[in-house]
C-alpha cells in the first residue's frame, strides 16, 4: 500500500464526499460556551453534553458567571458528564483567567488558550476552529487518534505527536474539516470495537481493513490492492 503522504489526498477527497458539511455537534453560541462544552465532553458523549448545556448556559451566561460559580453547585450541575470535580476546577479556573487576564474574552490564539487551566491542544484547536474559524493545528480526540492509527497516518500514541504527524501531511486548508470528518467517520463507520470495513468508503486506502475482515469480504478491486 502507498505511504500515508501518497494516500492522504484521496483519503481527504473521500471524506469530503461522505461528510460535506461536517462540524462539531456540540451546541454553542459563543467562544466561551464551546470552551466549556469541550471541557465537559472529555470522556463523555457530545449528546450528554448537549443535554445539560442549555440550562447550564442559561444559569451561567458569561465567563464572569462561571468564574464566580460555587464549585459544589457546579459539580452537581455537570455531574452526569463524569470527572465532574476536575471539570469544575477547569471551567472555573479557565473562566477566572479569561476574566482577569483577557478582559472577559476567550483568546483567539493557541498560545493564550494554552495558558487557561484545563486547556490542552485538543480543546484549544476545537475552540479556534469552531468559534473563530482558525486553523492552528488538528484536534486529536479519541476518534481522530483511532482512525489516524488504523489508516496508517501515525504510529504514535500521544495526541500531540499524532497531531504533528497529521500536520505534516494534511494540507493546512483542510485542517479544520479533517478533524470533524474523522470524528463523524469514527462514529458512523469505524467505531473502536467493531469497524464496519466492508461498507467503508476508505477500505481500499486503509491498511487495517484486512486485520478485521478477510479480503473476500472487503471487495476491494485489484487495482487498489
The catalytic site residues sit at 122, 141
Measured CA to CA in angstroms, residue 206 lies from 22, 55, 95, 154 at distances of 21, 42, 42, 12
d(CA 52, CA 75) in angstroms, rounded, equals: 12
Measured CA to CA in angstroms, residue 221 lies from 36, 172, 175, 205 at distances of 46, 31, 30, 11
d(CA 183, CA 193) in angstroms, rounded, equals: 15
d(CA 185, CA 219) in angstroms, rounded, equals: 20
DSSP secondary structure letters along 106-130: --SSHHHHTTSTT--HHHHHHHHHH
Q: Exposed, middle or buried: residue 73 (CB in 10 Å: 0-12, 13-18, 19+)? A: exposed
Closest C-alpha among 74, 91, 86, 75 to residue 36: 91
- Cα 42–46–98 angle (5° rounding)? 55
Amino acid at each position: 500500500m502507498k505511504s500515508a503522504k501518497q494516500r492522504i489526498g484521496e483519503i481527504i477527497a473521500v471524506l469530503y464526499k461522505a461528510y460535506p458539511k461536517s462540524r462539531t455537534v456540540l451546541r454553542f453560541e459563543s467562544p466561551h460556551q464551546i470552551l466549556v462544552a469541550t471541557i465537559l465532553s472529555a470522556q463523555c458523549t457530545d449528546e450528554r453534553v448537549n443535554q445539560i448545556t442549555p440550562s447550564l448556559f442559561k444559569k451561567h451566561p458569561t465567563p464572569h458567571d462561571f468564574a464566580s460559580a460555587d464549585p459544589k453547585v457546579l459539580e452537581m450541575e455537570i455531574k452526569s458528564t463524569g470527572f465532574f470535580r476536575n471539570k469544575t476546577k477547569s471551567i472555573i479556573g479557565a473562566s477566572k483567567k479569561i476574566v482577569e487576564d483577557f478582559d472577559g474574552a476567550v483568546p483567539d490564539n493557541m498560545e493564550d488558550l494554552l495558558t487557561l487551566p484545563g486547556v490542552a491542544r485538543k480543546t484549544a484547536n476545537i475552540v479556534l476552529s469552531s468559534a473563530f474559524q482558525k486553523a492552528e493545528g488538528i484536534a486529536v480526540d479519541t476518534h481522530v487518534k483511532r482512525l489516524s492509527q488504523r489508516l496508517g497516518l501515525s504510529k504514535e500514541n500521544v495526541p500531540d505527536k499524532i497531531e504533528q504527524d497529521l500536520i505534516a501531511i494534511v494540507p493546512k486548508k483542510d485542517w479544520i474539516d479533517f478533524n470533524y470528518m474523522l470524528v463523524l467517520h469514527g462514529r458512523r463507520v469505524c467505531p473502536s470495537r467493531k469497524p464496519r470495513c466492508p461498507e467503508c468508503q476508505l477500505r481500499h486506502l486503509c491498511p487495517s481493513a484486512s486485520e478485521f475482515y478477510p479480503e473476500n469480504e472487503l471487495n476491494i478491486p485489484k487495482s487498489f490492492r
